[in-house]
Amino acid sequence: MASGRTSRWLAAVAAAAAAAMTLTTPAAQAADAAATAAAKPRRLAIAIHGGAGVISREQLGPDGGAVYHAGLQEALDAGYAVLEKGGSSLDAVTTAVRILEDNPLFNAGRGAVLAHDGRAYLDASIMSGKDLAAGAVTGVTTVRHPIDLARRVMEDSPHVMLSGEGAEEFAGERGLERVPNEWFITPTRKQQLERVLRGATAPRNELQGLGTVGAVAIDAQGHLAAATSTGGMTNKRWGRIGDAPIIGAGTYANDASCAVSATGHGEYFIRSVVAHDICALVEYKGWSLQRAAAEVVKGKLVQRGGEGGIIAVDAKGEVVLEFNSPGMFRGMRDSSGRRMTAIYER
Ligand code: ASP
């Protein structure tokens, strides 16, 4: 028979074990998380970009780029609506990027810039900050929404990156919407390619090489996501691939730091591993997102000659829109009421 002392000790051990079990059951964890969330509502936020570079006021037209603002606003509101309804940041960034892919003003999906052979070759990538899952596609020519394909690669294949014909085959097997390559081609992009081929202008000049689109978001669960989609650069050849589909360069997301989508001269962004570099400064050095973004975009990239910019959001819902070019099509909206679209610095 156990003595009084021993039985008290056994009871204490049993109680401690029960308490430990309670604490570690998924239901208890969920209740805990819900209680924390209820006590402190999380900030929802989404940011988007539609490319960075030299944007001449002349090319924006007499209305000062109203159509660009409207296009950005539409994507922003659709993405934000997903977050507001309790949807995931992955769904929010996918929604925003899909809309921009269909907008012929931007260099992604319909309206993508044209390669040397006059065709559109599309690149896209997406990343989930919750589990570091990622998907990317390059050189796609018939998939209406390359961002959907990147997401299928992430969620429905054992791989991270698929290219060209194989990516098309995978799209076919997964039943994604296909269109003829001509569907992506607009008269403006044809003229831009002709001008570049004549040597009348540089590939990344004016509105010709820019217009890549991207989105970053944080949802009610505090999960981050980033997505980027592009036609790359006018007159690209030899299967050239930029930073947009490269995880770490054009796109990166990690709940421990931040989510980033980049736009600019891809070769520089690849060499500087821009998106991951910013997240690494936040995670390892504890820098604010603003400081980290400025260090990389306005510091390192400028020293190395890389023009462009990024949009980013951190785990607290802080949004940063940083660029070293004269302009960047961009916008953001969050649950504290902030909401804007812009093209130039001010
Ligand atoms: N980063 C894209 C690329 O190099 C182009 C751009 O963002 O303007 O393909």
The reported pLDDT for the residue numbered 7 is: 58
Question: Domain span at residue 12?
Answer: 2-38
Task: Tell me: do 17 and 59 sit in the same domain.
Answer: no
Q: Based on the domain organization, do 314 and 285 belong to the same domain?
A: yes
The answer to whether residues 165 and 269 belong to one domain is: yes
* 148 and 74 share one domain: yes
**Ligand 1 centroid, distance to 291 Cα (angstroms):** 23
Residue nearest to atom 8 of ligand 1 (CA): 210
CA of 30 to the centre of ligand 1 (A): 41
| Mean pLDDT, the chain cut into blocks of 10 residues (346 residues total) | 53 49 53 54 92 84 90 98 98 98 97 97 98 98 98 98 98 98 96 89 58 97 98 95 98 98 97 98 98 98 96 98 96 97 88
**Nearest C-alpha to atom 4 of ligand 1 is from which residue?**
266
Cα separations (Å) of 256 from 125, 131, 291, 317?
20, 10, 17, 12
d(CA 320, CA 207): 23
Lookup result for tokens 């690494």: 280
15 and 87 part of one domain: no
Residue 239: other Cβ atoms inside 10 A: 11
Q: Are residues 116 and 231 in the same domain?
A: yes
Among 122, 235, 265, 325, which residue has the most ligand 1 atoms within 8 Å of its CB, making it the best to mutate?
Answer: 265
CA distance 290 to 301: 15
Residues 126 and 269 in one domain: yes
Q: Read out DSSP for 36-101?
A: HHHHSPPPPEEEEEEEEE---HHHHTTTTSHHHHHHHHHHHHHHHHHHHTT--HHHHHHHHHHHHH
The Cα 146–Cα 208 span in angstroms is 20
Domain identity same for 25 and 165: no
Cβ partners under 8 Å of residue 109, min gap 6 = 100, 101, 102, 122, 144, 145, 146, 184, 229
* pLDDT for the residue 20: 43
Which positions are annotated as active-site residues?
A: 212
Residue 324, SS3? coil
Give the CATH number, domain containing residue 134: 3.60.20.30
Residue nearest to atom 7 of ligand 1 (CA): 263
Say if residue 8 is in the same domain as residue 151: no
Do 33 and 74 fall within a single domain?
A: no
Q: Any residues with CB less than 8 A from the CB of 16 and at least 6 apart, and which?
A: none
112 and 29 in a common domain: no
SS3 state of residue 142: coil
Q: How far apart are CA 125 and CA 151, in angstroms?
A: 8
Look at residues 264, 236, 265 and name the one whose alpha carbon lies nearest to residue 114.
Answer: 236
Q: What is the domain count for the chain?
A: 2
Q: Would you state the pLDDT for residue 59?
A: 75
Ligand 1 surroundings by CB, under 6 angstroms: 51, 209-210, 212, 230, 232-233, 242-244, 263-264, 266
Of 105, 106, 206, 230, the residue with max ligand 1 atoms within 8 A of its CB, to mutate for a pocket test, comes to 230
With b for 16 or more beta-carbon neighbours within 10 A and e for fewer, the 27-40 pattern comes to eeeeeeeeeeeeee
| Gyration radius of the chain's alpha carbons | 23
Does the predicted model carry a pTM greater than 0.85? yes
pLDDT, position 17: 45
